[in-house]
Amino acid sequence: MPHSLSPVVNVVFAGLGGQGVIKASDVLADAAFRAGHDVKKAEIHGMSQRGGSVTSDVRFGPQVHSPMIPDGHADFLVVLAPTQVENNLHQLRKTGVLFPPDLVPEESLKNRRSLNVALLGALSTHLSIAEEHWRAAIQDALPERLLQVNLEAFEAGRAAERARPPGKGRHAAP
């Protein structure tokens, strides 16, 4: 299929309402925008905010058309809730990379609420977006008092991903 050759990067974020799914996708979209990409981001607000399943799609590259990632075409799947891994795996390509919530050890985070930013750190090791853009996007998205703890979470996520053995739990399908 022509679009599997497309240089558009597709990232799906998934979790439950209130976990920071949308915030994480906002940070990635902003970082990619700052890096000069065409970016589209789609999600559903509303009813789902009340503790229900939430997903958000971010696509970036030279030119993005649909804001929604077709099933089975996500290059990366970032999941914030253990219960939301299984029902979202169908979104991932066979060669896609999964970032499960337990990727970043609990004790490495000062505040468990920054798991969303920690997983962005892990994701960042796979993307060619310069660190300055990530930093600026995180800074813009969060209040000042939460900045330091989130920048540390981002680093913790990077370290966790670098320590993950290749092929170990990374891919959706063997």
- Write down the H helix ranges in the chain: 21-34, 115-124, 131-141, 144-163
Task: Select 105 or 130, whichever has its Cβ closest to other proteins.
Answer: 130
Task: Select 23 or 164, whichever has its Cβ closest to other proteins.
Answer: 23
Dump the DSSP string for 80-116: SSGGGSGGGGGGEEEEEEEE-GGGS-GGG-SSGGGHH
Side-chain half-sphere CA neighbours of 115 within 13 A: 24
Tell the smallest beta-carbon distance from residue 167 to other proteins (Å): 25
Task: Select 4 or 128, whichever has its Cβ closest to other proteins.
Answer: 4
Tell the smallest beta-carbon distance from residue 110 to other proteins (Å): 23
Task: Select 10 or 152, whichever has its Cβ closest to other proteins.
Answer: 10
Of the candidates 46, 76, 45, the residue with the CA atom closest to the CA atom of residue 58 = 76
Tell the smallest beta-carbon distance from residue 45 to other proteins (Å): 6
**Interacting residue ranges for other proteins, rule: CB under 8 A:** 2-3, 16-17, 26, 29-30, 33, 38-53, 64-68, 70-71, 83-84, 87-88, 90
